[in-house]
Structures are given as structure tokens and as C-alpha cells.
Amino acid sequence: MDGVRAYWDGNNSWSRHGKDMDPPKWFVSGLAATVQLDGELWMGRATFEQLITKLNRSDWNGVGYYVFDAPASPSKYEERVNQLRELISLLPLHVHIVENIKRTNTSHLWSLLENILEQGGEGLVAREPSSMYSPGTAVSSLLKVKVFFNHQKLML
């Protein structure tokens, strides 16, 4: 996703850089009773500029919260994702749990990446299934897989 990272601590929403995001009450009304959440605010492919404009104007209509982790859980990643799936019926309709696909081999990974690129995405994130939560994006259990084109050469 090409969105804005958002962390919900049970009371407030924070950006990746620790800035209070000040979401509207309707957006967080169903989150207060849940666990801490880590995810992205997203509106769809090729909407990043529109998303930023909406957030700056405090107009969160059409914005979804796509959750990919539960920071407060002491469980391993696969267990945390299952815990999130159990919460989905309690969450507002604009909150979504990001789909996780277990890759079977390297060619499966490339196939998944190709599918994402065909849909206009920029890449995918590979996670170690047994990893513990670690804040930030520069962690050894997480790998961003992207394709870069530089001087007409394919770089991975």
C-alpha cells in the first residue's frame, strides 16, 4: 500500500514519526475497546496525494485503516494476525485486516510480486512468521520487496 502509517495505542492515533494524527471521533469510535493496532491509512491505488490532502483537511471520509499488526500482543506474528482476524467483527467497517499469504517457495514470491505490480502496487512485505513485534520498519524479520528501474536495468 502507498498510504500513511498509523499506530493506534488504544486512545490516540500516531504517525510513524510520533505525530498525533487527530482523527475524527467517528473514525476511532470503534477502536477504543480493541488492542493496539499498527497499519496504514489508505484510499486505494494512486490516491496518495488525495489521501494527504484529506488528512490535512481533517476530512477522513473514504479513508480506510488497513491493520497489519497488534503491537501489544506478546505472541509471534502468525498468532498476532489470527488475533486480529478474531477482532474484525468488532471493528468499524472502515477498518480492514491486511491479507497475509504464506509463500510456498521463491517462484511463488515472484508470482505474488508480479500480481501486485500488475495491480499498480509498488511491492510487498515479507515477514518472518515466528517473529515478535518490533516497532519501525528497519527490522530483521521484515523485508520490503520492490522492483526498481534504473537506467533501463531491472534492480531487485
pLDDT 10s digits, 7-44: 999 999 999 888 999 999 999 998 877 789 999 999 99
Task: Find cell 510487498 and name the residue.
Answer: 124
Burial grade of 37 (CB within 10 A; 0-12, 13-18, 19 or more): buried
Residue 92 in contact with residue 116, Cβ under 8 Å?
no
Q: What span, in angstroms and rounded, lies between the C-alpha atoms of 50 and 35?
A: 29
Q: What span, in angstroms and rounded, lies between the C-alpha atoms of 95 and 8?
A: 12
Q: What span, in angstroms and rounded, lies between the C-alpha atoms of 66 and 120?
A: 18
52 pLDDT higher than 80: yes
Domains of the chain: 4-155 (3.30.470.30)
Q: What is the pTM assigned to this prediction?
A: 0.86
How high is the pLDDT of residue 156?
59
How high is the pLDDT of residue 91?
92
137 pLDDT higher than 90: no
